């Protein structure tokens, strides 16, 4: 039944989408009339005129906004959307059994590569920025598809290309690219997710046959959660401890974790190969279009050539050689090549947030409930609590967009220049933004569902699948808590090594200056200033963010030094762990704000710039208010200023509400991609009625 309703929905959406152009012309008039119909807002507007120092122009052309946001990539996304729009049989229905979803997902992937003529592997290698834009669009079609695609190209393909050498590229690239060789990335084990350096699977070199022998030594070493393994994969990049027989001892030498290409299913009849055991990890909270499996190996033999040998190799006679001197450095180099996955997740998470925020805000504009005595009911977005719930979320989405756009560009730069400083920057930034944004989006998805009340609970309105599918973004490709510790560790390293005159990486540069401010006393005049001009000055905002980061960094370094004498470095780290996580988050927020402010400043269109400035102010001040305890404890902000910030956040939320429609339209997710009846640009209720069959 759902399948059919889904198709009806798509048909009518196609019509809606045709009318899009005519509609955008009359958008301003409708907004004006809509606001006029809301008495409360007018009253409140009068009462708040004294606050309105910055007058917001409502003459925003949404198309200009979209153009500025997409930076010329719009047509690539539209190509994906159109492809699926024209193929209803490739659209994922609202309810679908795991097994059918997996088959559909594979068909979708095959169609993208073989029918739409898009070559994700080429994009990833030659034009990474376009690759990430493309996968964001794929995620809007179905997040399972985006992950299935990521497993095939970024993880399986990426491991072969980045950890292997020319012989691997020659042998596998074409097959990976055209899907003849579907593959897996077999890193995680039952007992080891975050601590991958402790993986237990072994690959022992057999000099007699010139082969590696892959084994699963115990239950805990079972490869777990391996995408593409349960059904479709023919190969796997298996991470295992390289063991070399030692002439002096009956114990093998452990060379640490390396990656190996292991065929797992027959190219002829897809049967599981001897020595390989595969089980289905089963139904998951989300992403059920991806076939995750568990793998065990028992004396599986692979040629020596199957070692992905870019960072370490074994010769015919069993000698190990590597340009990198230690196990740790080799392991870091290996993992380092996989950073693209995190970039993709951070970027894709913002895509999910855009869809979710669009649905929640369009519904909040439509939905009316209660009102002043003997007057019409008002939109729920006219309630202060609803503005407080959704407007900072909308502002954050814009901030995250600009920050991840910066990250993607840095990643593309890194792939060209291989500059050490850029590499370090991309590593820490991708870890931090992935962790911060995916955690934020996960919470935001719940907030959006709740904001849509009962109608948010209908599966057709998308919050369920978005939340369930996105949920694991917080865990895979690095658990967020672990990633934030990497950011903190990187900050501390820079603090120790480079603070006294050395070069800080670009993104970190602000810290030197802020540390100066922090170490000096705060200026008592500034701590009391509460005018809007001051509070909305990007210099004040940035300083507040960076001051906090500098303070957290300095005090963390002191506390770690103090505790490590008694507890050792591991114990001291654990003793300061909450502090370190807060430091990492604070740093990431500083980066997001800085990128947001840069985006505002470079925006060529005056109206769009003024709109973005408003949104950026809300982002900055809301964050400061959310952490006001810290600012008060340091007397960085006096009590009167704290109150002024709070009032301004409420006022800015109210002002952003006035342009909320334009701001979500600016995300440019078409109705037929968004799909949720309550999130459409128009006719939401009637579309919803139609969906249930009236």
Instruction: Identify which of residues 63 and 634 has a Cβ nearer to a second copy in the complex.
Output: 634
Torsion of CA 355, 356, 362, 368, to 10 degrees: 170
Residue tagged 């047509």 (tokens): 75
Cα gap 279→32, rounded to integer Å: 59
- Is residue 426 a contact partner of residue 642, using CB atoms and an 8 Å limit? no
Count, residues near a second copy per rule CB under 8 A? 100
Residues 439, 621: Cα–Cα separation, whole Å: 20
Binding mask 226-265 for a second copy (x = CB under 8 A): ----------------------------------------
| CB of residue 119 to a second copy, shortest distance in Å | 30
* Strand 235-244 with 300-303, pairing: unpaired
Q: How many CB atoms lie within 10 A of CB 182?
A: 22
Nearer of residues 354 and 467 to a second copy, judged by Cβ: 467
Residue 666, marked binder: no
In whole angstroms, what is the distance from residue 589 CA to residue 583 CA? 10
**528: which residues sit within 8 A by CB, 6+ positions away?**
638, 640, 641
Contact positions with a second copy (CB under 8 A) in 368-387? 368-373, 377, 382-386
The nearest distance, CB 459 to a second copy, in angstroms, is 4
4 touching a second copy, by CB under 8 A: no
The stretch near a second copy (CB under 8 A) out of 80-88, 238-246, 276-284, 595-603 is: 276-284
* Least Å from the CB of residue 209 to a second copy: 29
Q: Which of 88, 175, 193, 683 binds a second copy (CB under 8 A)?
A: 193
In the region spanning residues 21 to 50, those forming contacts with a second copy, defined by CB under 8 A, are 40, 43-44, 47
Q: How far is the CB of 375 from a second copy (least distance, A)?
A: 8
Q: Which stretch binds a second copy (CB under 8 A): 10-18, 216-224, 350-358, 498-506?
A: 216-224
> 188 labelled as ligand-binding?
yes
Report how far residue 150's alpha carbon sits from residue 164's, in angstroms, rounded to the nearest whole number. 18
Q: Is 10 in the site for a second copy (CB under 8 A)?
A: no
| Residue for token pair 């898009």 | 118
Closest separation in Å from C-beta 288 to a second copy: 8
Nearer CB in complex with a second copy: 121/352: 352
Q: Is 122 exposed, middle or buried (0-12, 13-18, 19+ CB in 10 A)?
A: middle
* Residues recognised as catalytic: 477
540-599 residues in contact with a second copy (CB under 8 A) are: 563, 566-568, 570-571, 574-578, 581
Per rule CB under 8 A, is residue 411 in the interface with a second copy? no
Query: Which residue, 391, 486, 398, 393, is CA-closest to 434?
Result: 486
Q: Does 325 bind a second copy (CB under 8 A)?
A: no
Q: Is the dihedral of CA 637, 640, 644, 646 positive or negative?
A: positive
The correct pick among 35, 66, 281, 324 for binding a second copy (CB under 8 A) is 281
Neighbour order of strands in the sheet with 293-297: 223-226, 293-297, 276-280
Contact in structure between 215 and 296 (CB atoms under 8 Å): no
Strands (E), 137-231: 183-186, 202-206, 211-215, 223-226
Among the listed residues 294, 352, 403, 583, the single contact to a second copy using CB under 8 A? 294
CA 352 to chain centre: 9
Q: Which of 92, 159, 202, 222 binds a second copy (CB under 8 A)?
A: 222
- Between the CA of residue 472 and those of 264, 359, 438, what are the distances in Å? 26, 21, 9
Rounded to 10 degrees, what is the CA torsion of 553, 556, 557, 559?
160
Pick the closer one to a second copy by CB: 81 or 224. 224
Residue 8 is a binding residue for a second copy (CB under 8 A):
no
Site string (344-373) toward a second copy, x via CB under 8 A: ------------------------xxxxxx
Q: How far apart are CA 359 and CA 353, in angstroms?
A: 10
Is 44 or 54 the residue whose CB approaches a second copy more closely? 44
Cα 105 to chain centroid distance, Å, stands at: 21
Does residue 521 interact with a second copy by CB under 8 A?
no
Q: Is the distance from CB of 588 to CB of 487 less than 8 angstroms?
A: yes
223 burial via Cβ count (<10 Å: 0-12, 13-18, 19+): buried
Q: Which of the ranges 60-68, 145-153, 222-230, 419-427 carries the binding residues for a second copy, by CB under 8 A?
A: 222-230
Give residue 535's Cα distance to chain centre: 30
168/367 with CB nearer a second copy: 367
Stretch that binds a second copy, among 243-251, 257-265, 281-289, 586-594 (CB under 8 A): 281-289
Q: What part of residues 450-509 is at the interface with a second copy (CB under 8 A)?
A: 450, 453-454, 456-460, 463-464, 467-468, 471-472, 474-476, 479-481
Q: Is 58 in the site for a second copy (CB under 8 A)?
A: no
Beta bridge partners of 302: 212
Q: Within positions 424 to 453, which residues make up the interface with a second copy, using CB under 8 A? A: 442-443, 446, 449-450, 453
- In the complex, the smallest distance separating the C-beta of residue 522 from a second copy, rounded to whole angstroms, is 14
Query: To 5 degrees, how large is the angle CA 139–CA 143–CA 148?
Result: 100
Dmax over CA atoms of the chain, in Å, equals 94
Q: How far is the CB of 145 from a second copy (least distance, A)?
A: 18
Would you count residue 103 as binding a second copy (CB under 8 A)?
no
Given 102, 140, 192, 243, the residue binding a second copy (CB under 8 A): 192
| Distance, first Cα to last Cα, the chain | 14
DSSP 180: S
Asked if 89 is part of the footprint of a second copy (rule: CB under 8 A), the reply reads no
Q: Is position 316 an interface residue for a second copy (rule: CB under 8 A)?
A: no
Residue nearer to a second copy on the CB measure, 51 or 66: 51
- Return the structure tokens found at 384: 């202060």
CB of 454 to a second copy, least distance (A): 5
Task: Give, as ranges, the residues between 636 and 675 that touch a second copy (CB under 8 A).
Answer: 639, 642-643, 650
Which three-class secondary structure state does DSSP give residue 238? Answer: strand
Would strands 235-244 and 183-186 be described as parallel, antiparallel, or unpaired?
Answer: parallel
Q: Is 524 in the site for a second copy (CB under 8 A)?
A: no
Annotated binding site for FAD: 188, 227
Annotated binding site: 188, 227
């Amino acid at each position: 039944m759902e399948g059919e309703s889904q198709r009806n929905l798509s048909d009518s959406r196609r019509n809606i989408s045709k009318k899009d152009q005519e509609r955008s012309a009359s958008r301003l008039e409708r907004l004006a009339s809509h606001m006029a119909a809301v008495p409360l807002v007018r009253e409140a507007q009068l009462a708040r005129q004294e606050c309105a120092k910055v007058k917001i122009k409502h003459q925003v052309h949404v198309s200009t906004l979209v153009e500025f946001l997409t930076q010329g990539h719009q047509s690539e996304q539209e190509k994906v959307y159109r492809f699926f729009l024209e193929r209803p049989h490739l659209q994922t229905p609202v309810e679908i059994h795991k097994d059918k979803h997996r088959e559909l997902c594979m068909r979708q992937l095959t169609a993208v590569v073989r029918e739409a003529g898009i070559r994700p592997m080429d994009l990833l290698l030659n034009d990474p920025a376009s690759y990430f834009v493309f996968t964001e669009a794929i995620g809007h079609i179905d997040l399972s598809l985006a992950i299935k695609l990521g497993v095939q190209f970024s993880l399986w393909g990426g491991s072969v290309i980045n950890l292997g050498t020319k012989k691997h590229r020659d042998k596998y690239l074409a097959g990976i690219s055209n899907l003849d060789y579907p593959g897996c990335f077999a890193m995680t084990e039952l007992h080891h997710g975050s601590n991958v350096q402790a993986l237990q699977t072994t690959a022992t070199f057999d000099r007699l046959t010139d082969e590696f022998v892959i084994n699963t030594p115990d239950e805990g070493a079972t490869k777990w959660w391996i995408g593409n393994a349960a059904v479709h994969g023919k190969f796997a990049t298996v991470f295992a401890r390289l063991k070399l027989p030692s002439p002096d001892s009956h114990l093998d030498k452990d060379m640490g974790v390396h990656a190996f290409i292991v065929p797992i299913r027959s190219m002829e009849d897809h049967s599981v190969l001897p020595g390989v055991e595969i089980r289905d990890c089963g139904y998951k909270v989300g992403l059920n279009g991806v076939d995750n499996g568990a793998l065990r190996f028992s004396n599986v033999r692979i040629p020596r050539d199957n070692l992905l040998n870019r960072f370490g190799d074994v010769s015919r006679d069993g000698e190990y050689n590597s340009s990198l001197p230690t196990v740790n450095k080799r392991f870091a180099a290996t993992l380092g090549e996989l950073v693209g996955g995190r970039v993709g997740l951070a970027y894709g998470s913002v895509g999910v947030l855009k869809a979710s925020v669009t649905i929640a805000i369009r519904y909040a504009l439509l939905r009316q409930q209660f009102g002043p005595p003997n007057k019409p009911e008002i939109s729920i977005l006219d309630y202060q609590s609803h503005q407080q719930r959704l407007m900072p979320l909308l502002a954050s989405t814009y901030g995250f967009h600009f920050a991840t756009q910066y990250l993607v560009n840095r990643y593309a730069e890194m792939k060209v220049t291989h500059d050490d400083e850029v590499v370090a920057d991309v590593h820490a930034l991708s870890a931090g933004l992935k962790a911060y944004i995916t955690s934020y989006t996960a919470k935001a998805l719940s907030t959006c569902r709740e904001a849509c009340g009962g109608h948010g609970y209908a599966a057709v309105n998308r919050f369920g699948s978005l939340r369930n599918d996105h949920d694991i973004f917080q865990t895979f490709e690095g658990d967020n808590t672990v990633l934030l510790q990497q950011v903190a560790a990187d900050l501390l390293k820079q603090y120790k090594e480079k603070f006294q005159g050395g070069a800080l990486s670009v993104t970190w540069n602000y810290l030197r200056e802020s540390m100066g401010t922090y170490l000096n006393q705060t200026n008592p005049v500034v701590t009391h200033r509460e005018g809007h001009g001051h509070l909305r000055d990007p210099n004040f905002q940035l300083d507040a963010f960076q001051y906090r980061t500098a303070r957290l960094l300095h005090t963390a370094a002191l506390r770690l030094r103090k505790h490590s004498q008694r507890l050792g470095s591991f114990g001291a780290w654990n003793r300061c762990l909450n502090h370190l996580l807060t430091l990492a988050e604070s740093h990431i927020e500083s980066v997001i704000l800085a990128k947001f402010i840069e985006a505002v400043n470079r925006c060529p269109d005056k109206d769009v710039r003024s709109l973005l400035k408003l949104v950026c102010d809300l982002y900055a001040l809301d964050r400061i208010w959310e952490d006001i305890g810290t600012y008060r404890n340091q007397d960085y902000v006096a009590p009167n200023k704290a109150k002024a910030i709070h009032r301004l956040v409420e006022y800015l939320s109210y002002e952003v509400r006035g342009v909320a429609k334009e701001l979500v339209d600016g995300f440019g997710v078409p109705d037929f991609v968004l799909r949720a009846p309550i999130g459409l640009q128009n006719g939401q209720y009637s579309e919803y009625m139609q969906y249930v069959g009236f």
